[in-house]
Amino acid sequence: MDHVQQVRKQIANYLFAVLLIENFIVIGAMWYAQNYLAISPFIVLGAGLAVALISSLLLASTASKLTMQPLKAIWQIILHIAPEGNTPMAPPDTAKLKIGRELVTNLTGQIYQLASVAERVAASTKIENADLSHSFVANNLPLPLIVMDSSETIKFANQAVAEYIGIAASELIGKNVYMALDMSFPNDDTFDTWLKDAKQNNATSIHSWERVRLNVRDNHPTRLFDLAGYYNKDNSDQMETIMVLFDHTKQYSQDDQAISFIALSVHELRTPLTLLRGYIEVFEDELAGKVDPQLFDFMQKMSATAQQLTSFVNNILNVARIDDDQLELQLHEEDWYSILTSAVENLSLRAKVRGITLETTIAPNLPAVGVDRLSIHEVLNNLIDNAIKYSGTSPIIKIDAHTTTEGLVETTIEDFGLGIATNVLPNLFTKFYRDHRNRAQIGGTGLGLYLAKTMVSAHGGNLWVRSKEDSGSTFGFTLLPYSQLSEEAKKNGDNGIVRGAHGWIKNHSMYRR
């Protein structure tokens, strides 16, 4: 006989006994009252019905409690295993059960066994969910994906990233991401600086980068891509940081190849251009005061044009060197007054030809700065030349040099010409970018401001712009006093600091030098 049939028989026997006792009590009470108490039959009948009703209620309550004991015990067992509101219930004492003891005992064993299996399945599922190697989506995502823990150690790398960088996914697991990926960024907004800031100041953070270069090994082709990063502090699954790579190698390589081709072409212009400028300078010296003023004016315009062409050639060559990571800066202690006045003097002829006067104001006692003289001349040339080109009919450009409240040397170039639209400002320092509204009227390559921004950043400074359309523009940049570079200079063991144009723009140079 199974346990259910046994419980049914126990309940039937119990109910039979209860009903038998109840009937015996009612009939006995009526017989006694009629034969020994001489009470009217009607009263005896009424009293019998009342006794029957009361006894039925009492016996029904007792019977329901006893027959519900097995169900109550099972309910207690379930709540003991999976408590409501995280408050556990004590398990039932099955030894005290009068009905269904065997059934409850058997079901209790089954429930505990099922709960144990469920716990193992849940734990296994959690482990598999935390381990992305079991994730169909992560493994088959066509985009290169890397997941790191709090120490920037790679916990997961999908097959796409393995193929993208030419390293097996198994070799990437357990490595520090900066050792595994040799990334270069176009400015000082790098992955590691963002991640450090996010860890200090945010619980979660999302950021993206464009034109990131990945230098790979074993003759694997260099990759150019956009990068997206996601940070989630104290992630319980140890997936704190996620990187996703979006390949644009073909698109960005075409830009780089165009620069390389143009650089190769314009390089051949340097020798004849140098000769041309030399002859023009000789003619200016020899013919000054000896020829018609109009002819001499033509000679000055030729000189200014030659200077502008020289700046164009230098910009192309410098951009090519920066993109190839081959432009090095030699930072030395320099007098900013002499550098700035020299640059303004060189550009004054170009401004004069356009009918523009360069007004220079330099604060006294400026501290010496740590700069590469040639590259900082390129910065000044590009910024002042930009002001000349976009001055319109305005006859003046103001150049000011002073010390900021933070002790930095700041230089501003202010024109009062065309100005810049607000929607153009975010892209102003992007390579090849030019405002479509005036690029047909004003010549240029879209490289000058990109170069200036890159070189100022490599010096440890900051380049900024403030502008209003039709009201002119102000470009300013800061430089560190040489005294703030002295400790770094001592480490280099000489009087200067060698720094690439990507200098501390390199994402993880700290791990390789």
| 184-194 pLDDT tens trace | 887 668 898 89
Residue with the two structure tokens 């010409």: 417
Structure tokens at 376: 């900082």
H/E stretch holding 321: helix 293-323
| 4-57 pLDDT tens trace | 677 677 777 777 777 777 677 767 766 766 666 666 666 666 766 776 677 677
Q: Rounded distance, CA 408 to CA 479, Å?
A: 6
Other CB atoms within a 10 A radius of the CB of residue 194 amount to 17
Q: Rounded distance, CA 427 to CA 453, Å?
A: 12
Residue 309 confidence (pLDDT) above 60: yes
HSE-up (13 A, CA, CB side) for residue 493: 0
Do residues 249 and 224 lie in contact, with contact meaning Cβ atoms separated by under 8 Å?
yes
| φ, ψ of residue 423 in degrees (nearest 5) | -75, -10
**Measured distance between the N- and C-terminal CA atoms of the chain, rounded to whole angstroms:** 82
Comparing CA positions, the residue from 356, 420, 358 lying closest to residue 394 is 356
Does the domain at 136-247 match CATH 3.30.450.20? Answer given as: yes
Residue 503 confidence (pLDDT) above 50: no
| 141-158 pLDDT tens trace | 788 999 988 889 998 888
Beta bridge partners of 415: 397
| φ, ψ of residue 417 in degrees (nearest 5) | -105, -125
**52-66, 156-170, 459-473: lowest mean pLDDT where?**
52-66
In the prediction, which pLDDT does 495 show?
Answer: 45
- CA 355 to chain CA centroid, Å, is 48
Exposure b/e, 351-367, CB count within 10 A at least 16 = b: bebeebebebeeeeebb
Residue 402 confidence (pLDDT) above 80: yes
At 262, the pLDDT band (50, 70, 90 cuts) reads low
More confident residue, 71 or 457: 457
At 356, the pLDDT band (50, 70, 90 cuts) reads very high
Across 412-434, average pLDDT: 83
Residue 137 confidence (pLDDT) above 80: no
Residue with the two structure tokens 């029957």: 52
Residue with the two structure tokens 């089954």: 110
CATH architecture of 327-511: 2-Layer Sandwich (3.30)
At 338, the pLDDT band (50, 70, 90 cuts) reads very high
In the prediction, which pLDDT does 359 show?
Answer: 94
Percent of the chain exceeding pLDDT 90 equals: 17
The secondary structure of 109-173 as a DSSP string is HHHHHHHHHHHHHHHHHHHHHH-GGG-HHHHH-SS-EEEE-TTSBEEEE-HHHHHHHTS-HHHHT
At 423, the pLDDT band (50, 70, 90 cuts) reads confident
Q: Rounded distance, CA 219 to CA 306, Å?
A: 42
Residue 175 confidence (pLDDT) above 70: yes
Residue 286 confidence (pLDDT) above 90: no
Q: Rounded distance, CA 178 to CA 175, Å?
A: 8
In the prediction, which pLDDT does 330 show?
Answer: 79
Do residues 484 and 491 lie in contact, with contact meaning Cβ atoms separated by under 8 Å?
no
**105-114, 126-135, 155-164: lowest mean pLDDT where?**
126-135
Across 80-101, average pLDDT: 68
In the prediction, which pLDDT does 81 show?
Answer: 73
For the entire predicted model, the pTM comes to: 0.50
**293-297, 315-319, 322-326, 410-414: lowest mean pLDDT where?**
322-326
Beta bridge partners of 468: 472
Sign of CA dihedral 195, 196, 197, 199: positive
Percent of the chain exceeding pLDDT 70 equals: 68
In the prediction, which pLDDT does 228 show?
Answer: 93
At 502, the pLDDT band (50, 70, 90 cuts) reads very low
Do residues 109 and 94 lie in contact, with contact meaning Cβ atoms separated by under 8 Å?
no
Across 233-257, average pLDDT: 80
Residue 73 confidence (pLDDT) above 70: yes
In the prediction, which pLDDT does 443 show?
Answer: 55
Residue 455 makes CB contacts below 8 A (sequence gap 6+) with 329, 375, 376, 378, 379, 501
Mean pLDDT, the chain, as a whole number?
A: 76
